[in-house]
Structures are given as C-alpha cells and as structure tokens.
Amino acid sequence: MDGSTSTGVARSVPSLRSAVLQPPQEEKSVTHRRTSNRRLWAASAGIVALVAGTFAVAQANATPTAPDEAIPTVLTSGEAGELASNLLGELDDALAGSYYDAEAGTLVVNLVDESARSAVEESGAEARMVDYSLDELAEVRSQVSEFAVPGTAWTVDPVTNTVKVSVDETVQGDALAAVEESVAALGDAATFETVGGQFQPFVAGGDAIFSSGARCSLGFNVTTATGTPGFLTAGHCGETGSTWADEAGGAPIGAMTESQFPGADFALVEYEGEVDAPSEVNLYDGTVQEITGAGEAVVGQPVQRSGSTTGLHDGVVTAVDVSVSYPQGTVEGTIQTTVCAEPGDSGGALFTDGEAIGLTSGGSGDCTSGGTTFFYPVTDALAAVGATLP
C-alpha cells in the first residue's frame, strides 16, 4: 500500500519528521547491547509485546472462561506480541520462538516440549512442535558469526526453526564457497540464501535533514533526558558534534549529541532554538501519521517506511535480531523487512499504525526492483539515549 492506506490527519503546518547520507569512515564505539533472557526470547522468537497492546491473556493454569470471556484466536500484531510475552512468563524453556501469521491473524508458537501444547492452545495461539530450542539455535548463530564476511546477514528464523544466513552479491568466489560450506556443515539447523544488490547503509527517511553536503532522514521526534526536544536518526548519518539543517545550505536546527555506528545504528540530534517538532510521520500525500508510542517488531507484521528519497512504502517484517555485516562493520539486533529503500532514506521512520518501530539503517536493492531493508529498533535507541517520544 504505497501511498495513503495508513490513517492520516490533515497536515496543518510545515514540520520536521524523517532521510540517508554517505556513511562515516571511522568506526564508533558501541555501548548498547541486548542481554536479558526475555529480550533473547523476544528477538530470536520474532515476537515481543507492543506498548499499545490491550489483549487480555489467560494464564496457563487458569480455569475455563465463559464463552463471552474467551480469548479470540484472531489477533492484531500488537495482541500477538502481548500474548507471546505472557506465554514466555508461563512456559519459558518449553518455547522455541514464535511468529505472527498476518493472513490468518494468529500467533504461531514453536515448542520443544509437548506438555506445553495445551497451555498454548488454551491461550488462543497455535502450537507447533519443532526440532531446535532457542539455546541450540543461539549456539548455531554464534558459530555463524565466526565465519561471516562483509555482505552477510544472519538471524534465528522462527518460521523455519533454523538460523538463516544470507549473503549479498558482493560475496563471490572463494569467500562465497567458504560461507556455503560452513553453513552446510551446520546441518539442517541452518539455511543459506543469496540476495541481489549489496548490504550497505542508506543515506536519507521522512523529512530530509542535511549536514556538510550529506542528506539523511529524520526518524522520530523525541524528548531528551534533559527535557529538551530532539530527534532520532541513523548513526551512520554523522558524527557526534555534527550540525544539521532542514534544507541544503540552511541554518543549523540542531547538533548531533550521540551517534553509534557500527555495532548499533542510531543517533540523537538536539534541536537549537524553537522548532515545530510534532510526534508524527510524513505520509507524502498531504497527510501525516500521528505517533503515540514505541513498539517492538514482530515477524510477519505489516509495516510502513517514510523516507525523503522514496516517500512512503510498505512491506512485512521477515526477521528480528538480525546481524548484518556492512563494509563499515557489523550492526547487531536489526529488523529485516521486505520494505524497499534507497540512498537518502537512512534514519527514516519504520512504523505500524501509531507505533514507532525502527530507524532505516541499510540494505540492498531499490524501490524499482524491490529489495531487503534493515532497521535499528526504536526502543533500543530510546533506551540508549534516555529519550522518550513526545
């Protein structure tokens, strides 16, 4: 639904919302890492609770409910995320990932323990027995990181219950053969695929922002830890201390106070002076999408991206917690999607309805032939800089 299928409101005043530039040449230190067991489940499984979820979940040991209190089996992606989070608290080690079936509107939960099936089915989810636990797949994933080369992306795929390894077209000859052989040596716990184009950071997102001749996209307006207004964009867009304008050659509207790339890919720009900074995303049809909260990505979730080069495009989340190796270094914990993007879209907004989901990082392909795009999670960026959505 490229264009205006999202709910929008009339745009009344010019304002800054989201863009990509040439990546920096020097690597920056990375301090933000995902470590909690709950986050490992959420990311590896492909399901986490969304901020705006309102779905009431029955506990595994609950007594049967009356018909009018029964948990629905047709769920939104937000309801599926909350259900998955609750099941984790009840069943923990029996779970081996999960994903959202958007066509059926159901949460599919992978299990390695048959005794947990009834609890999953009573909750309203679909139970699916699989071969590998999350711990086993995590070990496989760690082995992939030892032989991955620039142009490689790898993640736990809950749909296939494997570690999926992808390489772009820059991986050729002996390097390609070595990766293929290494994946094959992992047996049926790993799968291999090639994709067109080159995995690289995109430089631009929603409304365009400019710095030293480079262009990126504004992701989401935020309130910083000190209470001042600012916005998030991609870390590869610039260095800490760089200044940014809302037009080429224009007066600075803010300065980048934190930037992380590679390892992570986010940056915070703090506004200077008075700037109209609404919590909304440009839909490029004369309307905007209000952003009311931040959420985690769900495998199978329909999403949209706004960027200053290509405008509004849609797609589906295909993987979460993806490691992607760019020429400048590896970025961990990204969201992989079928949404296209092009240079100038970096830093731009990935969202679903009113939920902020990610910041455009990089990928391969374009919006003519299609491609793969990776996004850095907004929730991770917000936590790292101590900011909140307005």
Is residue 372's pLDDT more than 90? yes
Residue 323: count of CB within 10 angstroms of its CB: 19
Which band of pLDDT confidence, cut at 50, 70 and 90, is reported for residue 139? very high
Could you give the angle at which helices 134-147 and 173-184 cross, rounded to 10 degrees?
A: 160
Query: Is 32 an annotated catalytic residue?
Result: no
Residue range 292-319: mean pLDDT, rounded? 94
pLDDT at 20: 35
Residue 212 has pLDDT above 50, yes or no: yes
Pick 324 or 209 by higher pLDDT: 324
Report the C-alpha gap between 381 and 349 in whole angstroms. 13
Please say if 313 is a catalytic residue: no
Q: Give the distance from CA 160 to its chain's centroid.
A: 20
* CA distance linking residue 90 with residue 113, whole number of Å: 13
Instruction: Find the mean pLDDT for residues 189-216.
Output: 80
pLDDT value at 369 more than 50 = yes
Give the pair of three-digit tokens for residue 237.
């867009």
Closest alpha carbon to 238 in 276, 209, 277: 209
- pLDDT > 70 fraction of the chain, expressed in percent and rounded: 80
Judged against a pLDDT cut of 50, whether residue 27 lies above it is answered with no
The more confidently predicted of residues 78 and 345 is 345
Listed by start position, the domains of the chain span: 17-27+133-390, 37-129
* CB neighbours of residue 173 within 10 Å: 7
The one catalytic residue in 133, 211, 217, 236 is 236
One-letter amino acid of 331: V
Task: Identify the CA nearest to 216 among candidates 93, 308, 354.
Answer: 308
Dihedral of CA 56/59/60/61: which sign?
negative
pLDDT band for 390, please (50, 70, 90 cuts). Answer: confident
Residue tagged active-site, from 77, 123, 242, 346: 346
Q: Catalytic annotation on 265?
A: yes
Show the 3-state SS of 126-138.
EEEECCCCHHHHH
- CA distance readout (Å), 207 to 14, 141, 281, 324: 10, 37, 8, 26
Q: The domain 17-27+133-390: what is its CATH number? A: 2.40.10.10
Q: What percent of the chain has pLDDT over 90?
A: 68
Lowest pLDDT segment from 172-181, 201-210, 330-339: 201-210
Q: How confident is the model at residue 289 (pLDDT cuts 50, 70, 90)?
A: very high
| Element counts in the chain: helices (H) and strands (E) | 6, 24
Q: Treating both helix axes as pointing N-terminal to C-terminal, what angle do 37-45 and 77-91 enclose, rounded to 10 degrees?
A: 130
Could you give the CA distance from residue 223 to residue 300 in angstroms, rounded to a whole number?
Answer: 30
Under the banding of pLDDT at 50, 70 and 90, the label for residue 60 is: very low
Per mean pLDDT, which range of 246-250, 267-271, 286-290 is the poorest? Answer: 246-250
Query: pLDDT of 78-87, one tens digit each?
Result: 788 778 878 8
* Mean of per-residue pLDDT scores for the chain: 83
**Residue 113 pLDDT more than 90?**
yes
| pLDDT value at 159 more than 80 | yes
According to the model, what pLDDT value does residue 388 have? 98
Alpha-carbon Rg for the chain, nearest whole angstrom, is 21
User: What value does the mean pLDDT take over residues 130-157?
Assistant: 96
pLDDT at position 30 is 35
Question: How big is the CA angle at 362 (ends 152 and 319), to the nearest 5 degrees?
Answer: 65
Which residue among the candidates 265, 314, 321, 353 is catalytic per the annotation?
265
pLDDT for position 361: 97
Query: Of 18-32, 107-121, 344-358, where does mean pLDDT reach its minimum?
Result: 18-32
